[in-house]
Chains A and B, each alone.
Chain A
Amino acid sequence: MSTTQEATATSLLRFATAGSVDDGKSTLVGRLLHDSKSVLADQLEAVEHASRNRGQEAPDLALLTDGLRAEREQGITIDVAYRYFATARRRFILADTPGHVQYTRNMVTGASTAELAVVLVDARNGVVEQTRRHAAVAALLRVPHVVLAVNKMDLVDYAEPVFASIAAEFTSYAASLGVKDVVAVPISALAGDNVVEPSAHMDWYGGPTLLEHLETVPVGSDPSEEPARFPVQYVIRPQTEEHHDYRGYAGQLASGVLRVGDTVTVLPSGHTTTVAGIDALGEETDIAWAPQSVTVRLADDIDVSRGDLIAAGPAPAPTKDVEATVCHLNERPLLPGAKVLLKHTTRTVRALVKEISYKIDITSAAGDQGLEQRSGAQGLQVNDIGHVVLRTAEPLALDAYTDNRHTGSFLLIDPADGTTLTAGMAGEAFETVRIGDAPDEEDWV
C-alpha cells in the first residue's frame, strides 16, 4: 500500500520541447522515455519492426513519437503530440512540438500549458535563428522555466568552452526577453550523456542531468501571493427537496485562494458580496486554491452566470477595448476589420479587429532595446506574432497576461465555421523597437 500512496502524492510537471529539425529532438524525447523506462516492450518491438521494414538497422527512436501516417511517410512531425512518463518523484506531461520554422504555432500551443520549456541546440551550430524563435516563444507565453539543452556534445569532443559560450549567449538573449530562470545542460541524446544518467565525459559540468532538473524544478506558483480569479463555468441548481435553495457557481480557480467569508466582486457587473460556502466536488470545505475545481456559494442573491468572473483582491477593470499580443494560428490571414468571436475564460463575445498595430520579428537580435516590430498593415499570416487592438461587444474582465496566464489569455474564433484563428495574450508581451514602415501611434490609438 505504501508504494501506491507515495505515487499518488507525486507532483505533475507539464513541459514542452522545442528544437530545430536536425537538433535531435526526437532522439532526446525517445531517450527520456526509454531511459526513464517509460517505453514498454511491445512499443519497442513495434519500433524495431517498423525500422526493419524501412531498411534501418538500429531501432529509430523517432518512430516512438511520430504517430501519424503522413509523419511516418515524410519522416517529419506535423503536430503537437503529448507524451507521458513518470519517475518515483514526479509525473510528466510532455508537449512534443515540432521545430520547423512554419510551426511556430505548435510551439505556442505546447508552451501555453507548460511550466518549463526545453530548447534544444546543436553544439556544433550554437544559437541560431530557430533558437531565438524558441526562446522568444517561451518568453511570450510566460513559461516560468527554460532549459537550454546543448545537444551533440559528443561531436565537439565534450569541450567545455563550446558549451560555455553557447550557454552565455542564450542566457543573455533570454534575459533580454524577460525569461528569469534559464538552466543550461550539456548533453548527448544519442549517447545518453546527462539526459538521465550523469556523463562520464564531462567532469567539468557540475549541474544536474536534464531529468534530475525536470524532477526538482519547482512546479506551480504560490496561490497565496496572487489575487483570486474564479471564472464561473456553470450554475449548479439541484432543485431537489433536499437541496431546494442550493445555488452554487461551479468553476476552476485560475489563480489565488478563496476562503469562506472573503469579500469578492462579480465581474463585469461589479457587485460585491461574500463567499458563503465552498464545496470541493461535493464536500464542504472552508478554503480552495488554484487550480482546484470547486463550487462557490455567495451570501447575496445576485445575478451570476456562466462567463462571469468572481474576483478577490485587486480586480481588473472590465473593458471593451482590448490590446493584446497574438500568435496567428490559421492559414487564413487575420485582417483589420475582421469580425470574430473572442473566447476569454468561460465567456465568448463578438469582437472586431480594429487594428493590427504591428508584427514582431521574434528572431531579430534583441540587444537591450527589444525585438523589432514591423508594419502589420497587411494583416497577420499563419505563425505571425503581432500586436492587435480589438473592440468587444461586451466588457471583459481581463488581466494582463504577464500577471495571469489564465485570465490574460483568449482565443479568436471564426464565427462562420468555428475555426480557431488566433491565440491572444492581453497587454504588451515584449519590449519592441519600431523599425521601417510601422504606422504612427496616433493612427491606431
Chain B
Amino acid sequence: MTTATHSLVETGENPFALSHLDTLEAESVHIFREVAGEFERPVILFSGGKDSIVMLHLALKAFRPAAVPFALLHVDTGHNFPEVIAYRDRVVAEHGLRLHVASVQDFIDDGRLRERPDGTRNPLQTVPLLDAIESNRFDAVFGGGRRDEEKARAKERVFSLRDEFGAWDPRRQRPELWSLYNGRHAPGEHVRVFPLSNWTELDVWQYIEREGIELPEIYYAHERDVFRRNGMWLTAGDWGGPKEHETVERRLIRYRTVGDMSCTGAVDSDAATIAEVITEIAASRLTERGATRADDKLSEAAMEDRKREGYF
C-alpha cells in the first residue's frame, strides 16, 4: 500500500486530495528530516507510550530504506509497567536501535533526587532527562507532545528552544512561520522537537489503525488489580500502592496513556481492539489527561510550570 494509491482510493473526486492522516504524516516526516539535516546529535524520547511509538514509526518511514539516524532515550521512573519495558526492548532489538536509559531510581539511590512524600515520580523525571541531554550532548530531543493535550501545550512550537537549564520561556518563543523551522542554538542549549504537534489523540489512534502498529497490551481492555486514589484507578505494585486504607479490586480496564505507575490512571473499558478503542475515545466526554493524569491536576498551571523547569 503506497501513500499514493491509498489516497487515490479514499478521497473522492479530486485525485490529488490527501486525507488528514496523509497530510499529518507528510508534515511529521518533514520535521524528522529537517532535524536529521540540521542537527549533530538528535535523540528520540521514547516512553513506550502510543505517541512515542507513533513517532518512532514515522521516523522509520522517513528514512527508509536507511536506518533511523537517531538513538532513543528512555527516562525510566523506576515505576514502569513491565509490559511497556518488554515492548521497549523488543522494538530496540527489532530495528537495531541504540537506547539510552536515564534512571530516576539511580538519582534517588545516590542522593541527587529525593522521593516526594506523595510517591509520585513523574515530576522527578526532569533532572535525569536534563542530565542525559547534557552528558550526551544531545542538541535536538524529539518528544511526542501534542498541542491538543493541554492548554499550555497549545502554545508550544514545533521547534522549541531550551536554554542551558533546559527551561521553556513561553514569552521568548520564536515565531514559527510556514514550514520553516529555525533550529539554531548556542552550545549548551538544545531544541525540543514535537513532530506530533498537530495530531490529536484520535488522529494518533486512527493512524495506529491504518498502519497496523503494535502497542503494549495495557492500551487494550484487560483484567487488572487496581485501587482508587485521587479519583483514579492505579495499578497495585511495589511502587507504593495500595496503602492500608486502600482496597484492591480486580477490574476490566485499559490505559489511555502510559506513564509513571504512581500517577497514571486506568479507565474502565471493554475496548479490546483498535477499532473499539477509537469508538470509545470518540464518545468519551473526558480528555486523555483529564481522565488519567494526577499530576496535571495539581494546579491550573501545573503543565506550564513543569515545562518551564525543563519537563516536556
A residues in contact (CB < 8 Å) with B: 1, 3-5, 7-12, 40-43, 46, 50, 64-70, 72, 78-84, 86, 90-91, 93, 105-106, 108-109, 112-113, 219-220, 222-224, 233-234, 236-240, 242-243, 246, 250-252, 257, 279-289, 291-295, 306, 329, 341, 343, 345-346, 405-406, 409-411, 413, 417-420, 423
Give chain A nearest CB distance to B192 CB in angstroms. Answer: 15
Give the contact stretch, choosing among B57-65, B86-94, B127-135, B221-229.
B57-65
A41 to B112, CA, bound (A): 40
Give the contact stretch, choosing among B20-28, B212-220, B259-267.
B20-28
Chain B residues numbered 39-73 whose CB sits less than 8 Å from any CB in chain A: 61-67
Chain B residues numbered 197-253 whose CB sits less than 8 Å from any CB in chain A: 197-198, 200, 202-203, 206, 209-210
In the bound complex, do residue A413 and residue B182 qualify as a contact, i.e. CB atoms below 8 Å apart?
A: yes
A67 to B14, CA, bound (A): 38
Residues of B near A237 (CB, < 8 A) are 66
A436 to B230, CA, bound (A): 68
A70 to B65, CA, bound (A): 47
B interface residues, how many (CB within 8 angstroms): 78
Give chain A nearest CB distance to B263 CB in angstroms. Answer: 16
- Can you list 10 A-B contacts with CB-CB less than 8 angstroms, sorted by A residue number? A7-B206, A66-B151, A69-B301, A79-B173, A82-B197, A219-B17, A288-B3, A292-B4, A411-B177, A411-B180
In the bound complex, do residue A42 and residue B202 qualify as a contact, i.e. CB atoms below 8 Å apart?
A: no
In the bound complex, do residue A69 and residue B4 qualify as a contact, i.e. CB atoms below 8 Å apart?
A: no
- From A12, A65, A289, A293, B62 is in contact (CB under 8 Å) with A293
In the bound complex, do residue B63 and residue A250 qualify as a contact, i.e. CB atoms below 8 Å apart?
A: yes
Is B286 positioned at the interface, with any CB of A under 8 Å from its CB?
Answer: yes
Residues of A near B284 (CB, < 8 A) are 40
Residues of B near A83 (CB, < 8 A) are 154
In the bound complex, do residue B26 and residue A11 qualify as a contact, i.e. CB atoms below 8 Å apart?
A: no
Residues of A near B290 (CB, < 8 A) are 40-43, 46
Is B82 positioned at the interface, with any CB of A under 8 Å from its CB?
Answer: no
In the bound complex, do residue B175 and residue A284 qualify as a contact, i.e. CB atoms below 8 Å apart?
A: no
Is B115 positioned at the interface, with any CB of A under 8 Å from its CB?
Answer: no
Residues of A near B279 (CB, < 8 A) are 3-4
Give chain B nearest CB distance to A156 CB in angstroms. Answer: 33
A394 to B161, CA, bound (A): 27
Who on chain A is nearest to B185 by CB? A418
Q: 7 closest pairs, A vs B, by CB?
A: A418-B184, A42-B290, A67-B151, A282-B64, A12-B20, A293-B29, A238-B66
**Assuming the A-B contacts A84-B200, A112-B177, are A411 and B30 also in contact, with contact meaning beta carbons closer than 8 angstroms in the complex?**
no
**Assuming the A-B contacts A82-B154, A236-B66, are A283 and B1 also in contact, with contact meaning beta carbons closer than 8 angstroms in the complex?**
yes
In the bound complex, do residue A4 and residue B275 qualify as a contact, i.e. CB atoms below 8 Å apart?
A: yes
Is B37 positioned at the interface, with any CB of A under 8 Å from its CB?
Answer: yes
Give chain A nearest CB distance to B14 CB in angstroms. Answer: 8
Residues of A near B210 (CB, < 8 A) are 8
Residues of A near B198 (CB, < 8 A) are 82, 84, 93
Give chain A nearest CB distance to B7 CB in angstroms. Answer: 8
In the bound complex, do residue A65 and residue B151 qualify as a contact, i.e. CB atoms below 8 Å apart?
A: yes
Who on chain B is nearest to A330 by CB? B175
In the bound complex, do residue A79 and residue B155 qualify as a contact, i.e. CB atoms below 8 Å apart?
A: yes
In the bound complex, do residue A284 and residue B155 qualify as a contact, i.e. CB atoms below 8 Å apart?
A: no
A283 to B65, CA, bound (A): 9
Give chain B nearest CB distance to A311 CB in angstroms. Answer: 18
In the bound complex, do residue B21 and residue A8 qualify as a contact, i.e. CB atoms below 8 Å apart?
A: yes
Is B139 positioned at the interface, with any CB of A under 8 Å from its CB?
Answer: no
A423 to B180, CA, bound (A): 10
In the bound complex, do residue A281 and residue B155 qualify as a contact, i.e. CB atoms below 8 Å apart?
A: no
Is B268 positioned at the interface, with any CB of A under 8 Å from its CB?
Answer: no
**Assuming the A-B contacts A292-B18, A292-B22, are A68 and B155 also in contact, with contact meaning beta carbons closer than 8 angstroms in the complex?**
yes
Is B171 positioned at the interface, with any CB of A under 8 Å from its CB?
Answer: yes
Who on chain B is nearest to A251 by CB? B33
A423 to B200, CA, bound (A): 28
Is B287 positioned at the interface, with any CB of A under 8 Å from its CB?
Answer: yes
Residues of A near B20 (CB, < 8 A) are 8, 10-12, 90-91
A78 to B172, CA, bound (A): 11
Convert B155-195 into 0s and 1s, putting 1 for each residue whose CB lies closer than 8 angstroms to a CB of A: 10000010000000011011111111010111000000000
- From A1, A64, A413, B275 is in contact (CB under 8 Å) with A1
In the bound complex, do residue B154 and residue A86 qualify as a contact, i.e. CB atoms below 8 Å apart?
A: no
A70 to B171, CA, bound (A): 9
Give chain B nearest CB distance to A174 CB in angstroms. Answer: 22
Additional pairs, 6, CB under 8 Å, beyond known A9-B12, A12-B18, A280-B4:
A11-B11, A11-B18, A233-B30, A233-B34, A250-B33, A411-B177
In the bound complex, do residue A346 and residue B34 qualify as a contact, i.e. CB atoms below 8 Å apart?
A: yes
**Assuming the A-B contacts A8-B210, A67-B155, A284-B2, are A257 and B16 also in contact, with contact meaning beta carbons closer than 8 angstroms in the complex?**
yes
Give chain A nearest CB distance to B59 CB in angstroms. Answer: 11
Residues of B near A108 (CB, < 8 A) are 175, 177
**Most chain B beta carbons < 10 A, residue from A7, A67, A223:** A67
A410 to B182, CA, bound (A): 11
In the bound complex, do residue A46 and residue B300 qualify as a contact, i.e. CB atoms below 8 Å apart?
A: yes
